[in-house]
Amino acid sequence: MIFIVNTVMLDKKPFQNLISEFKEAGKYRVFNDIIRERGDFPNALWYGPYNIKNIVNWCSNDYLGMGQHKVVIDAMQTALDQTGSGSGGTRNIGGTSHYHVALENELASLHRKSSALLFTSAYVANEWSLIALSKIISNIEFISDSKNHNSLIMGMKHSGAKKQVFEHNNLQDLENRVANSRLAGHTPCIVFESVYSMDGDISPMQQICDIAERYEAITYIDEVHAVGLYGETGGGWTEKLGIQTRVDIVNGTLGKAFGVQGGYIAADSDVTDAIRLVSSGFIFTTSTSPVSCAGAMASIKWLKQNNSIREQHQERANRLKSLMAEARLPVMPNNTHIVPLLIGNAGLCKEISDDLLNEHNMYVQPIQSPTVDVGTERLRFAPTPFHSDSMMSDLILALLTIFKTKNISLNYKSR
């Protein structure tokens, strides 16, 4: 047996204090050790503290179950046999395979752009694309929605460029800020999302494009929770609205609806070419495995031709929201696939999540600060085409049982 003696002269007190603060506030996050069961999604195995249990996963971002799809798995197995496991380098040094090139072409086509650029995640793509824009356009000023994702916030912050924040989805506030930016001699860049993943609401994309065109502003949209899920071929909410060519730069992920891993931007070829030349997060990172690229490409191609799975997904989400509303559970209404159940207390949110997992074999992660504001903590359900009516009935019954046990009032109100 090997004993490791810690000889590092590190004061652990600050670390322990922070951990204690999180635990006392009910915000301490626990990783649930699960294994997805291939061919039986959304069922999974949970390796709990005392035993292994069969559970139903209610919070996977594999929205369409494509991570389990045969065409994806077959494509990845073929690529693995052909290329081996990793890419072998950065994109500039040995890490650009034909799979990378073909996938970028497929993504460009999906978004009706002339080019796309792969990153290791959508977070990295957002952060380093925005940083790169500040290096390319010296007088850029970001005009950011107040509910933008952390990756967008950090990208703008780390860019060092000027920034204004407009009230969430407030078009008048946005226009005032864009107009002032122009008057001050800046190049405004409107940064927003299509689907906001925690509330499930959508942005007024067409009107934002109108404002951008009036003031010759750049538009940068995050479609992470929309690609693959909306539009006739899965091009996102911009495809659904027919405005793909009106948005300058679109960010997307391969790790949610497409069921694999990685992120990207799609834009004019000159834009992506310049970004790749100055984006450190792209230049100095080992590229995505060709195996993942192969799986993503197969997933995108299949979803382009199979709109019915998107229709099934919407039906399942609407069904669950209706059942929750009928049971007077505090579901937050929206027009997307996101099903947030508002709890409003971090500790209670964690308790309900634990009870669902321990007592009812259902896994849904509590969503707490800083992901959402304090006082708006919630359980965020992600029904897929593979969550059956019986699974939904079991979930509603479990929630009602827990609410009754904990004396939580059923206070659903249509908002």
User: What residues are annotated to the active site?
Assistant: 256
Amino acid at residue number 78: T
8 A C-beta contact, residue 365 and residue 346: no
For the record, the structure tokens of 256 come out as 């949610």
Give the C-alpha separation, 55 to 363, whole Å.
7
Burial zone of 3 (CB within 10 Å; 0-12 exposed, 13-18 middle, 19+ buried): exposed
Rg (CA), the chain: 22
Angle value at C-alpha 376, between 14 and 321, nearest 5 degrees:
135
Angle value at C-alpha 265, between 183 and 91, nearest 5 degrees:
125
The DSSP-derived string for 39-99 is TSTTEEEEE-SS-EEEEEES--S-TT-GGG-HHHHHHHHHHHHHH-SS--SBTTTT---HH
8 A C-beta contact, residue 71 and residue 299: yes
For the four alpha carbons of 328, 329, 332 and 336, in that order, the dihedral sign comes to: negative
Give the C-alpha separation, 260 to 76, whole Å.
10
Amino acid at residue number 127: E
First-to-last C-alpha distance (Å) of the chain: 60
CA distances from 281 to 91, 118, 122, 127, 284 (A): 11, 11, 12, 8, 6
Angle value at C-alpha 15, between 10 and 16, nearest 5 degrees:
110
Give the C-alpha separation, 286 to 275, whole Å.
17
Paired with 381 in beta bridges are 339
